[in-house]
A = this chain, B = another copy of it.
């Protein structure tokens, strides 16, 4: 039987990370691939207590809720946003199934097929899937240690007139880089000048290894009303991914439009999860927990860096991340990370080849290593296996 699948979906590349994750389920593969938080740090008792309190409230907790999400959680999130300089009301916020859905809805309401979107080079791979599914033309600007390079961006803007810019300015996925304050202002000015909009994706901003404060692009641009920035974040990295709750903030007209699109997409996200998170925020010091996981992730990053350094692989380089969950590694020139992955998986270690993160002209000798999921002996063993695989490849060429 020929199901005649839609062109867009059938041409869509399956997520490399998801496919690798699938591969790793239930066997001994050490995975530096997924963006998985450290499982053992999940606040399981606090979630358990919160779930109990939700269900103590009676049967009403199990009813349908609003498409835009559970109001008390939106109110609590508004307070958390305000503490970061983002002043919004619950009407300027929508809760989503992870920030992935926020991105999908934003792209759906803000673009027509054929529109152009500007991204960093490299950028988050699952957003590339969203853009492909919505029929967008993707152009990617160069990025350096200070963030998106304005000259490269402006050249592309003039040439392609993109409607939107998508970026992860704080502890980027995959590179772990953070945009400098000056760069943020320049890119924001440019976006305003060319009447574009920005999707600011910030899943990692809370996870930092230094004392710096980074203003979100949203906060730099001002109030929600008329803000060219639509900001999204998630509880997946700070509380737990299984609770699958993200949010977007922005001008209420955009939020209302997302709400309409969400009605069609799934009516609403899990009210159970939203209520659990709301109860959790009431009785649990989330900021202390974030400080704890940040310290631990910083230590794990240092650990992985030290292991890579002591493996003394020639022509391996990276920039030490100041936060987030990823180490972005430049491999020896000419080494194809996809071929390396096949060899590495046989040796029992996985990572994501960098090519997945490029909209075009992939830099094939790059790899994204996650350092938050494993630690200690397991990380050491993983790096040893990886080094062995790289060693074989380098010897061969």
Contacts and interface: CB of A to CB of B under 8 A. Distances in A.
Interface of A: 1, 3-7, 9-10, 12, 14-15, 18, 21-22, 25, 34, 36-37, 39-42, 44, 47-48, 51-52, 55, 58-67, 96-98, 100-101, 104, 108-113, 126, 129-130, 132-133, 163, 197, 226, 228, 236, 240-244, 251, 253-254, 257, 259-261, 263-273, 275-276
Contact of A101 (B14, B39, B253, B265): B265
16 contacts: A1-B251, A3-B197, A6-B109, A6-B110, A6-B111, A9-B108, A12-B264, A40-B59, A44-B59, A47-B55, A52-B52, A63-B242, A97-B266, A242-B272, A244-B270, A272-B273
Contact of A3 (B48, B132, B253): B253
A18 B263 contact: yes
This protein's copies in its complex: 2
A62 B12 contact: no
Contact of A241 (B22, B63, B98, B257): B63
A100 B242 contact: no
Given A3-B251, A5-B109, A65-B242, 4 more contacts: A1-B251, A3-B253, A39-B62, A44-B62
Contacts of A15: 263
B25 A100 contact: no
Nearest to A254: B3
A311 B282 CA distance: 49
Contacts of A242: 61-65, 270-272, 275
A73 B375 CA distance: 31
Contact of A9 (B9, B257, B275): B257
Contacts of A37: 63
